[in-house]
Structure 1
Amino acid sequence: MENYIKVKLPLYVKISLVLISIALIFVGLELGAGLMVPLCFSFLFALLLHPLCVKLESWRFPRVLAIFICLVTIIIVLGIILYFITSQILSFGEDLPGLQAKFTELLNDLHQYVSKTFGINKSNQLNYLRRSASTVMASSGAMVTNMLAYTTNTFADLGLMPVFIFFFLYYRSFFKQFLNKLFISTPNQNITEIMYKIQNVVKNYIMGLLLVMAIIAALNTVGLLILGIEYALFFGALAALLNIVPYLGIIIGSVFPIMMALLTKDSIWYAVGVAGVFTIVQLLEGNFITPSIVGSKVSVNPLAAIIALIIGGILWGPSGMILSIPFTAIAKVILDNIEPLEPFGFLLGEPPVPADKNPQGDFINDFKKEVKETITQETVTQSPL
């Protein structure tokens, strides 16, 4: 029998090793973004399509055919969304000359306002704008190059994702056996339970997010239609689509309709109204819509969500920001089910609300108590004894 020597490391050595390991993980994730980003998206879509695939297989569809039907379904859905966005952009492009003329007129009004208010003549303003434009043009080349590179990588990722989704679904039993062998000391039932919870969290998050986006799109569109903003449906849907990036998406999505209001309306109050509509929708989304639909199924507290967004953006850009919330929720499920790491899962979640600090809970409890007392009194009154 082999003898093992246990070495007790000092605390500072343990902390140093943990920090070095975390740094190496982050470096690896950043360097491997080209592979990890499509893999992560494919994993989420595979979890979302898994129930449909299982259902088709229960109807005696071969697994390959069932996976093919799932892939065709999601490609059709994404194609419809892409067609809508493209058609709206083409329609928007037809009105672009008129918008440019309106922008020129607005710029002239701004020149006159600056001249009257600050005493800066138009020629000095134009010189300043030329210098600013030169600075912007000097850096625009790198910006365009980066944008083209990002677009090319995005299309390459979209080409790889169906392949990854297919193999995730096809080899799902094989991956389960791998996890059972990897965590041999953990009962298979516990691993299956964790996998089921992860699938449930991802499904609830994505389906809830789609429903929230639909509600936000409807509210944005109605508000913009009331104000008479052109392309209200497009801007409402775009802002809802950008809402996939929590906290920041709705802000970015509100810029375009505000600019449209400034260019197409005679009063600045329309732009103020647009900002008010998006502010109200954001408040409703954050305080009522998302908590009611997603609820505690993806219970990641705002601080953890913001930190995850920042880390995801640093590592993988916009894709990392989109992936940050679902994978933080997955990490929480895993941490909650590993006893030594359970405190970290607790740290990621929502803080518990004491019963005495929950007015809704007191109202419900009082209501139940009153109903119970009423039933008891009626029973005693109607009793033959």
Structure 2
Amino acid sequence: MVSGKRILYYSTLSVLFLYFLFAGLIETKPFLAPFTVALVLALLVYPLSRKMEKSFFNRSWASIVNTIFIFLISLGFFALFSMQVKNLVDDWPKIKETMKPKIEKLKDFVFEHTPLSQKDLEESSKGGLSVPFLSTGSQPGKKAASFFSKAMSFFGNYLLTFIYIFFMLNYRQHFRKFLLRLFPDEDRQRLQNVILKSANVIQQYLIGKLILIGFLSVFYAIGLGLSGVSNFILVSVLAAVFSIIPYVGNVIGFGMAMIFGYLVSGNPGVLIGISLTFFIGQFVESYILQPYIVGDKVDLHPFITILVVVTGNLVWGLIGMILAIPLLAIVNIIFLNVHSLHPFGYLLSKEEKTG
């Protein structure tokens, strides 16, 4: 009975802890999400900042230059994305004309092989299944105000992220010494190792991902260009960048290529070319390049990784999915270097590690 009560007690505490943890993460997303993105990006450019400080820049100027460098890269990505959206809007009438006969064939197939009928489809459309944002309904002022509010919030967090990056780079020694002073002298060396390992694993993972993005950009551009995809260079770069999102990013990239390739032209040959390009590219990336470039630097169990990516999507959406693996890698390093938490490190890792 004592053992059963203890299990029930700790189980209840664990459930309550997880509930309030995730509820807190969701509520504090406007603050924590930009801060965490800034932390990861600061770790990415930290080696470059150190080299600049050793040459001809002081720490403040090196931090400013690296912050502006990341800012310009992000602006370039937004420019590519906006150009792609503009191309999609321009090609939308052509896509509708190309897909119209295919949609009619799909409807005929559904009506012939399922209990559904044309009347059911019309009733479901009348029942309010249309997209609210695209409907020509009432209260356009509220929609415009909501959109403006979300846009202002996004750009506010966007600019705040780069402010965080500058201060993290410029005052990193101050923050590191603060963390070390929280622990007794005998534990400071272990904490120092955890900080160094966490920084190194994030840097190696992100730099490896950037190399893979460069490879995919070139490979996709060649394959999609030969396949006859419209705006294949922009599509290739965006598809490669989206691959940084675990599991889902490749699907997004493939969907973009389908829209600007097969849906615009309607040529089945383009569909075959797109499918072959993405299949070969993903095979080479996953089984040939990634083991050598990224390797086992982020040594995480694949099942746990999927769970964390899904959880990141539920908590912080797209940003949560992108940050899931780097943050899980840091948590795993902490678990493996704290003796009492070592079983959790074993659970997260592919193989057993020693702290």
How well do the aligned residues superpose, as a CA RMSD in angstroms?
A: 3.1
Conserved? CA contact 2:336–2:345, under 8 Å: yes
Paired position in structure 2 for 1:41 = 37
Q: In structure 2, what is the Cα distance between the partners aligned to 1:285 and 1:350?
A: 20
Conserved? CA contact 2:38–2:164, under 8 Å: yes
> Larger C-alpha radius of gyration, 1 or 2?
1
TM-score, structure 2 length as denominator?
Answer: 0.83
Partner amino acid, structure 2, of 1:214: G
Q: In structure 2, what is the Cα distance between the partners aligned to 1:102 and 1:162?
A: 39
Residue 72 in structure 1 maps to residue 68 in structure 2: yes
| 1:246 positional shift | 0.7
Q: In structure 2, what is the Cα distance between the partners aligned to 1:335 and 1:168?
A: 24
Shift in CA distance, 211/30, structure 1 to aligned 2, threshold 3 Å: same
Higher RCO, Cα 8 Å, sep 6+: 2
Residue 107 in structure 1 maps to residue 93 in structure 2: no
For 1:136, what is the secondary structure of its paired residue? coil
Shift in CA distance, 140/266, structure 1 to aligned 2, threshold 3 Å: closer
Partner amino acid, structure 2, of 1:100: P
Of 304-313 and 340-349, more deviation after overlay is shown by 340-349
Unaligned stretches of 5+ residues in structure 2: 136-141
Conserved? CA contact 1:238–1:253, under 8 Å: yes
Conserved? CA contact 1:205–1:297, under 8 Å: yes
Residue 57 in structure 1 maps to residue 53 in structure 2: yes
Q: In structure 2, what is the Cα distance between the partners aligned to 1:315 and 1:144?
A: 26
Which string of whole-angstrom CA distances, capped at 9 and with x for unpartnered residues, describes residues 59-81 of structure 1? 36332222111112222222333
For 1:238, what is the secondary structure of its paired residue? helix
Shift in CA distance, 146/183, structure 1 to aligned 2, threshold 3 Å: farther
Partner amino acid, structure 1, of 2:29: A
For 1:68, what is the secondary structure of its paired residue? helix
TM-score, structure 1 length as denominator?
Answer: 0.77
| 1:200 positional shift | 0.4
Of 138-147 and 167-176, more deviation after overlay is shown by 138-147
Q: In structure 2, what is the Cα distance between the partners aligned to 1:338 and 1:91?
A: 52
Equivalent position to 2:129, from 132, 135, 138: 135
Paired position in structure 2 for 1:284 = 284
Which string of whole-angstrom CA distances, capped at 9 and with x for unpartnered residues, describes residues 257-302 of structure 1? 2133333335324224322322332233222222221001111121
Shift in CA distance, 51/82, structure 1 to aligned 2, threshold 3 Å: same
Conserved? CA contact 1:213–1:243, under 8 Å: yes
Of 127-136 and 142-151, more deviation after overlay is shown by 142-151
Residue 258 in structure 1 maps to residue 258 in structure 2: yes
Shift in CA distance, 136/173, structure 1 to aligned 2, threshold 3 Å: same
Residue 322 in structure 1 maps to residue 322 in structure 2: yes
Partner amino acid, structure 2, of 1:203: Q
Unaligned stretches of 5+ residues in structure 1: 1-8, 353-385
Aligned length in residues: 338
Partner amino acid, structure 2, of 1:331: V
Which string of whole-angstrom CA distances, capped at 9 and with x for unpartnered residues, describes residues 34-93 of structure 1? 100001011111212222222233236332222111112222222333334444544555
Q: In structure 1, what is the Cα distance between the partners aligned to 2:180 and 2:59?
A: 22
Q: In structure 2, what is the Cα distance between the partners aligned to 1:259 and 1:282?
A: 19
Shift in CA distance, 328/116, structure 1 to aligned 2, threshold 3 Å: closer
Paired position in structure 2 for 1:338 = 338
